[in-house]
Amino acid sequence: MQCENYYNNVNFAIETFEPIQMTEAIYKWGHTRRYNDFPNYIKKTYGSRVQKISINVGFSCPNRDGSKGTGGCIYCDNSSFKPGYCEPELSVTEQINKGIAFFEDKYPEMRYMAYFQSYTNTYAPVAHLQKLYNKALEHNKIIGLIVGTRPDCINREIVEMLADINKSYPVTIEFGVESTHNPTLEEINRCHTYNDTVEAIMLCAEYGIKTGVHLILGLPGESEQIMLDHARKISELPVHTIKLHQLQVTKNTILAKRYAENPEYVKLFAFSDFLPLIVKFVEILNPDIIIERFVSTVPHDKLIAPKWDRMKNFHVVAAIEKELERLNTWQGKYWRRNI
């Protein structure tokens, strides 16, 4: 694809535009919440609760196994982000059953998505991938598929296979983008470029597959302007959902070692500083993009910093919503598509 200079010719000076005028009655996502939130999207799409069941099938990553690099991303301790039932020694079916058992007593009508989450879940021959995905979809309570991967670990053959599944079950591919700034991607040992991200998302769009992106705010060397540029760049792509993470220093990672040696290596957010950044990010984010989450949570016994007084996700969401209301602002208020 001709994506090499795509962003060199895009003008991101959107601050000069007048804000889009909206009232509560006409938010384009169809409800009165001030951002395009994931729970309302799920309710509108499926008419009921839908829970992701995480699956770990023991994949690696090209920046771990030596094909591109070793050591993995400097911040990565993948065990920090998966539930206890998600163990690769269990079969796909066993993991799904254990995951469903977590929820079914409280929510007997719940439906479920199989979420291939840990590490890079397209990093294998296509026949092996198809076997694993189909095994998940054989379960009578699974209604769709979510595949977490890297933008440099997707190709046309894999996308064609997933597009075929997408004819019968909804498929979403979630890409660990983390940053749109190539010097940052190099610093954190991602071993791919932002151009890889653009090409991967455009390839999925060509086949009608929805994509989600993960971004980390607060990576080494990134200014507020660079972080807000992430919102501008992602807003120009056919992205369906976004997950935001604040940078966290987790035990047993390269980042933890660097942070111990030099605490100035990263500027970790206090929540009081993170809140205004998130509001600005939301204001310039394409309103068509569904926000799945604003922060991530590492288990307290694994987290070094920042700790935010053990704030839960619902505390964070409530604070963001209160601030959006106080400022009378909303997702996409300052967004314009660049032509």
pLDDT at 11: 33
Residue 256 makes CB contacts below 8 A (sequence gap 6+) with 249, 250, 304
Percent of the residues in the chain that have a pLDDT greater than 70, as a whole number:
88
pLDDT bucket at 81, cuts 50 / 70 / 90: low
Least confident of 73-87, 181-195, 196-210: 73-87
Domain ranges of the chain: 7-326
Return the closest-CA partner of residue 176 out of 302, 65, 81, 92: 81
pLDDT at 145: 98
Residue 52 has pLDDT above 90, yes or no: yes
pLDDT bucket at 320, cuts 50 / 70 / 90: very high
Can you tell me the mean pLDDT for 40-57? 92
Residue 217 Cα to chain centre, angstroms: 12
Residue 244 has pLDDT above 80, yes or no: yes
| CATH number for the domain running over 7-326 | 3.20.20
Helix (H) or strand (E) holding 59: none
How do residues 281-299 score in pLDDT, each as one tens digit? 999 999 999 999 999 988 8
Q: Which alpha helices (H) appear in the chain, and where do they start and end?
A: 38-46, 92-103, 126-137, 156-166, 182-187, 194-206, 224-235, 254-261, 271-283, 313-326
Question: Taking the CA of residue 196 as centre, how many other CA atoms within 13 Å lie in the half-sphere pointing to its CB?
Answer: 19
Residue matched to tokens 């300052």: 334
Residue 50 CA to residue 118 CA, distance in Å, equals 20
The 8-class DSSP code of residue 243 comes to E
Residue 295 CA to residue 242 CA, distance in Å, equals 11
How do residues 16-44 score in pLDDT, each as one tens digit? 344 555 555 568 898 999 999 999 999 99
Residue matched to tokens 């799945």: 292
pLDDT bucket at 311, cuts 50 / 70 / 90: confident
pLDDT at 4: 35
How do residues 150-180 score in pLDDT, each as one tens digit? 999 999 999 999 999 999 999 999 999 999 9
Can you tell me the mean pLDDT for 199-220? 98
Residue 290 CA to residue 44 CA, distance in Å, equals 13
Can you tell me the mean pLDDT for 136-144? 96
